[in-house]
Chain A
Amino acid sequence: MRPERVDRLATVIVLSLAGIVGMVVFSLLIYILAMGIPHINWHFLTAEAESFSAGGGIRDQLFNSLYLVVLTLIVSVPLALCAAIYLSEYAPANRWTQGLRLAIEVLSSLPSVVVGLFGYLVFVLQFGFDFSLLAGALALTILNLPILTRSCEDALRQVPYLQRQAGLGLGMSKWRVTTKIVLPAALPGIITGTILSAGRIFGEAAALIYTAGQSSPAINYADWNPFSPTSFLNPLRPAETLAVHIWKVNSEGLVPDARAVSNGSAAVLIITILLFNLIARYAGHRIKQHLTK
């Protein structure tokens, strides 16, 4: 065949495969949104969930999901960033580093159910955190760390080697080069990676069922003392998240409008993750602009 024909054929094949993937993803997205959006209204978003009667909302579940993401990021971002800095700036190319990378790789392919059960055994029972936001956040941290570490490391590696050399050439110490030159330049990538990982853990259910728990005791949004048992900020209270709620309503829900509640919740979940992604792009873009202005 002539090169042009091969080229045209290859293009057609690649495009149609991409088209199939795009179709599947889009139709799923549209299906979920179409099924769910009709059930979303102000009441749905701001009312408590009902156990037996129809008309319950998802206020607490939505809040729990967001709060859990925040707690998880508070734990995982510093850890991931330190690990990434070590790997990209300091780690020598030897066995130990290879082993570390392998461990991270393995950790990232751990099924979330396994992470959930590990969290149940270690955080809930061993450490005595009970079913709590804290136990959930730690389980999500395990889930989040490998991917976040990788994306932070990638962001750091993207900074040209010469920038580091230039810093060293000016008499800066390695640590200073890392914090003053490499880190700021990598910031857009790090922030984008963090927000994207937030979207990923926002939809997590399996790791949370036995760690953050499946119940939502009454919480008081006026109580800002994180140590008070009924405070919405208390990290030691059990907290059902949106994704767990969907799973629970579908599997053992007693409410007559279970379908509507789960469809609506799914749509809210998808929309929120979509928002995370949009924010990630926007934030990364803005910071980059700011740096090069």
Chain B
Amino acid sequence: MKKLVIFFLAIFLPLFVITLLADQEEEEEADQKKQEIKLVNYIRKANRNTREIVDHSKFEVLKGHFENAHKVTEACLGCHTERHIEIMESPHWKWERNEVIEGKGVITLGKKNTLNNFCIGISGSEATCTRCHIGYGWKDKSFDFNEPTNIDCLVCHDQTGTYEKEKGAAGYPKENVNLNYVAKNVGSPGRENCGVCHFWGGGGNNVKHGDLEKAMIDCSREIDVHMATEGEDMSCIECHRTENHNITGKLYALSSENKNRVTCEQCHTEKPHGDDILDDHICRVACQTCHIPYYAKANATKMIWDWSTAGKLDGDGHPKHENDADGNHKYMSIKGTFIWDDHVVPEYYWFNGLADHQLIDEKIESIPVQMNSLDGKYMDKGLCRKTSTPSKIWPVKVHRGKQIWDPVNKTLVQPKLWDKEEGQGTYWNDFDWGLAAEKGMDYLELPYSGEYDFVETEMYWPLNHQVAPKEQSLKCNDCHTRHNGRLESLGDFYLPGRDHKAGVEIFGIFLIAASIIGVMIHTVCRIISGKKCKLNNYTKN
């Protein structure tokens, strides 16, 4: 017996120690990596805050009074020559980019011409939508995209927090903005600069993304580990690295190619966990999937937008506006009915970095209309297939809606929504869908049958922000579980712990039951045969 134990220890102890040591080494390596990332971030932050930058308030050109916003741009470009060329090539300026969509060729995609299932589209209502454009004066098709002084430098570079664009003024600042003061206090864009458009897209805080909102201007680690003020305190451009005004990162609501993306790996490397099994997951599971377990963690986001109920006016014929219990818009006469949610569990889809879009002049082939659709499936394993990298499982906010379409031509419809005045046939003023549709489609010179209806739509927003502290990331059995797992609906592959074949289960249970029953019958027979059975005699001795 003693020998057995010694044998056992001699062989298994070393094995155990080796595996434990190897594990520990991996973990230490990962820890070290983490420290390095923190250090790099710390140094960058220190550089940012202590670097001697020019003091714009000392420049003569910025001291005089600016007649209008264009003059500020002129002053900027006086020193920062050629920057306007970079800007004018950027999607932030053009609100479109040329992208290849599989099966459709090169398509010009962007806010300029692509519809969504929020405020639908800008055409015909530019002057209000372009409040988020980095320019001055885009009120209709006549806007001059080649005029450098139309660029709005301040909205991104203002450091005072006092610069604000006017509502419905095609991107011009409010009258009361002190252009002098702002122009003298410019710098690298902070989160407020990006946030003023990207947090408020869709007409309200966190309406669109669900993972980008005003709370992130000053938030805790629970909300976002990267942006936490008492923590890494990273600004947007820390990840969305920018050179010559070419900002990395883009959103699949409006783009379709796998390029110019921002990735977690650019800092965290492809082996961040110190654990082989977890690191292996990176091959088919996006970091975001486990590390963004919930989105809309501070304020709610819009989940459903039903335009078909719009247009109900109150007793006096005025538009109505009702809020839900949490203070979010529930019904607006101009927009219809909304459903909001917070701490939302994402939906999960395979995604290979390519997306398709329902273009405005394209026939609708299936309902719900996929405003944009993320490409990918389990069998798309990269390597010689569509993309060089495999499809990964991604967390996605799906925004569902019901919006106007042309059931005869089977296309989406761009209604004209906004105008300064009533009587122009815009829906938000006159509440006549037919007229708004006619006006909008006419503006775009697109066919409209004269009939409209409402159609269900879906839009996919891959999640990237509001990364949770690691203790809150998903655990194995959030997915590897038989019932109610996060990946329950992603059925095109075998997932250990979730899947089992009925045939195999029946085979197994049958085998085990047969063994047990056989053994029991045999035992009973032995007992019954009693004395005749030598075995029983012996046990009695």
Q: Do A and B bind each other?
A: no
Interface residue ranges, B against A (CB under 8 Å): none
Interface residue ranges, A against B (CB under 8 Å): none
